[in-house]
Amino acid sequence: MPKINSVQTHLLRVLSLVYRHESISRTRLATSTGYSSFLISKLTERLLKGDFIREMGAGESSGGRPPTLLSINPGIGHLVGVHMGTINLRLAVTDMCGRVLAHKIEKSLVDKGPDEALNHLLETIFDLLKAARISRHKLSGVGMGISGLLDRERGITLSWPKVPSWANVPVRSFLEDNLGTFVEVDDTPRTMALAEKRYGKARNSEEFVYLTFGAGIGAALFLHGKLYAGQGGFAGEFGHTTIDEHGPLCSCGNRGCVEALVSASIIIRQAEEGLAMDLSPQLRLITQQNGGRVTLEGISSAAQANDRFCLGLLLETGVRVGTGIVSLVNLLNPELIVLGGGLPKAAGKWLLPSINRVVQERAMQGPSSQVSIVLSDLTEVDWARGAALLVSENALRSALLKAVGS
């Protein structure tokens, strides 16, 4: 990576700040950087001339003439965001403002092994770039969230829960070699948290926890204003918080983890047992209409139709999730916990009240009075948009270096 000189450092600092805010005045840029208004005026002039930023309408006045607001030129970079789950693949091509120019949701083919899955991913990226009319050479970077276990530094997968053959797969270099662009990978809870911070419910929060409930349970910790990944990038295994030291064995080898007691597949199995014992007339009806398949949505609809078995099942699930969240609230004292992923999307309405009740009852008074627990309202395409944010700062840097030379 080429080094940048001190003028470029100043330009990049201002450009990053404009990027991070939807719009910002020169006065606020001066306050945030500590630069003089003279320097800010010179730097923004140069960024305006290079078409990196644009003047928008005027902002709110704090007395005198309302200040002109600056915002990023969306066209200075184009990013691809990828969210590769165990089952589904979500992709988006965005401009620098995060506007989606093309997107796609399909099967990830993770179970077919890395060769097939990665080649399929590459083809899908080419298709999408064509649909968005972005030349491959104009691509500023690819950010990718991966549900497998990662060595982020080296950009390789270490393993994939319940899928063999994903040990030591160099995902990042595969994409870099084939696309000739900058690539970053991280785990899906963290890329989803980036989406939540920029586009979702965590927009105004500097400290929050994002929990995702899909096939497994993941967490991302956003602390001191940035993602916290831990020593080796493994932080966030909230699913493997013990809530019952004598509980059932978990896939991780421990006992009584949250994930061993609550997961989409466990809830569905419990619902199937309820059906077999003829405890749930509404779910039977819904499942018959659904070709015999029990789904989270079906369980939620049955609850909606006042099916007592399904209501009880979701209530109990909420209590278990809530018990895990109690430890999280006591340990981290977060202001916000956002619940995302398939389970909250399908059944959050039923889970949230019992989660909140357990947290209010069981967590310590100080931290429990300060935490808001909310359901994410982001879509699967937003998850891909979030992954693209992994490479956005680098895209700004390259755009600047390309234009002003090094």
Chain residues binding its own copies by CB under 8 A are 9, 34, 149, 158, 207, 219, 221, 223-224, 226, 228-238, 240-246, 252-255, 320, 323-324, 326-328, 330-335, 361-364, 366-367, 370-371
Nearer to its own copies by Cβ, of 231 and 288: the residue is: 231
Nearer to its own copies by Cβ, of 103 and 190: the residue is: 190
Nearer to its own copies by Cβ, of 74 and 256: the residue is: 256
Within 8 A by CB and 6+ apart from 120, the residues are: 89, 109
Nearer to its own copies by Cβ, of 219 and 378: the residue is: 219
Nearer to its own copies by Cβ, of 172 and 240: the residue is: 240
Minimum distance between the CB of residue 267 and its own copies, rounded to whole angstroms?
Answer: 18
Minimum distance between the CB of residue 158 and its own copies, rounded to whole angstroms?
Answer: 7
Nearer to its own copies by Cβ, of 34 and 292: the residue is: 34
In this structure, are strands 226-228 and 217-223 parallel, antiparallel, or unpaired? antiparallel
Minimum distance between the CB of residue 251 and its own copies, rounded to whole angstroms?
Answer: 10
Q: Taking Cα atoms as reference points, which of 194, 150, 197, 204 lies closest to residue 172?
A: 150
84 to 97, 144, 177, 234: CA distances (angstroms): 22, 7, 19, 18
Burial 297-328 (b: 16+ CB within 10 A, else e): ebbbbbbeeebebbbebbeebbbbbbbbbbbb
Minimum distance between the CB of residue 123 and its own copies, rounded to whole angstroms?
Answer: 31
d(CA 266, CA 246) in angstroms, rounded, equals 18
Nearer to its own copies by Cβ, of 201 and 345: the residue is: 201
d(CA 117, CA 142) in angstroms, rounded, equals 17
Minimum distance between the CB of residue 336 and its own copies, rounded to whole angstroms?
Answer: 9
Torsion sign over Cα 339, 343, 344, 349: negative
157 to 46, 120, 166, 187: CA distances (angstroms): 42, 17, 6, 10
Helix axis angle, 6-20 to 26-33, nearest 10°: 120
Minimum distance between the CB of residue 22 and its own copies, rounded to whole angstroms?
Answer: 25
In this structure, are strands 88-95 and 78-84 parallel, antiparallel, or unpaired? antiparallel
Minimum distance between the CB of residue 237 and its own copies, rounded to whole angstroms?
Answer: 4
d(CA 36, CA 52) in angstroms, rounded, equals 21
